[in-house]
Structure 1
Amino acid sequence: MTDRASARAAKSALAARFATDPGVAAVGLSRQDAEYVVRVDLTDAGAGARVPHHVDGVRVVTHVIGTVRPL
C-alpha cells in the first residue's frame, strides 16, 4: 500500500518532468483502492503515452479532461 509521503514525492517528480508538456493539464494526488496514487489530467489522450504507469513504486493514473479554458 502506498502512503501519502511516497505519493507526494512521486507527484513532485512527475510535476517537474511534465511542467512544460502541453498535453498535461495537472498532476495531483488521488485515493484509489484504499491507497494513494498520482493522478495526471491530460488535455488530449495522445499525451497519455508519455506518462509512466508507476513512479518510484507509486501507481500513476491518467484522466483525459480536455482543453482547460478560463471562465
Structure 2
Amino acid sequence: MTDRAAARAAKSALATQLSAAPGVVGIGLARRDSGYVVKVDVADADAAGRVPRDVDGVRVVTEVVGVVRPLRSRTA
C-alpha cells in the first residue's frame, strides 16, 4: 500500500523525468486497491512504452487517452 505523500513525491520525480517526453499528456495520482499510484495519460502506445512501471517503489500506471487539446472558448 502506498500512501498519498509517497505517491506525490514519486509523481513530482516522474514529472521532472518525463517533462520533455513526447506523447505524455498528463500526470496525476489515482487510488488503486488500498493505496495510491501515479497515473500517466499518454497520447499513444509508443509513449506508454517510455513510462517506467514504478518510481521510488510507487507503482505507475498508464492510460492511452489520445491527444489532448484545449476546448475552444465560446463567446456571446
Q: TM-score range by the shorter chain?
A: over 0.9
Q: Which has the higher helix share?
A: 1
Structure 2, unpaired ranges of 5+: 72-76
In the TM superposition, what whole-angstrom CA distance separates every residue of 1:7-61 from its partner, at most 9, and x where no partner exists?
0010000001111112100111000111100000001111111111111110000
Task: Please report the RMSD computed on the Cα atoms of aligned residues, expressed in angstroms.
Answer: 0.8
Number of positions where the alignment pairs a residue of Structure 1 with one of Structure 2: 71
Partners of 2:48 and 2:10 in 1: CA distance: 17
Instruction: Give the drift of 1:69.
Output: 1.2
Query: Which 4+ residue blocks in structure 1 deviate beyond 6 angstroms?
Result: none
Partners of 1:7 and 1:68 in 2: CA distance: 24
Identity of aligned residues (%): 65
Q: Residue 51 in 1 paired to residue 51 in 2?
A: yes
After TM superposition, the score normalised by the length of structure 1 is 0.94
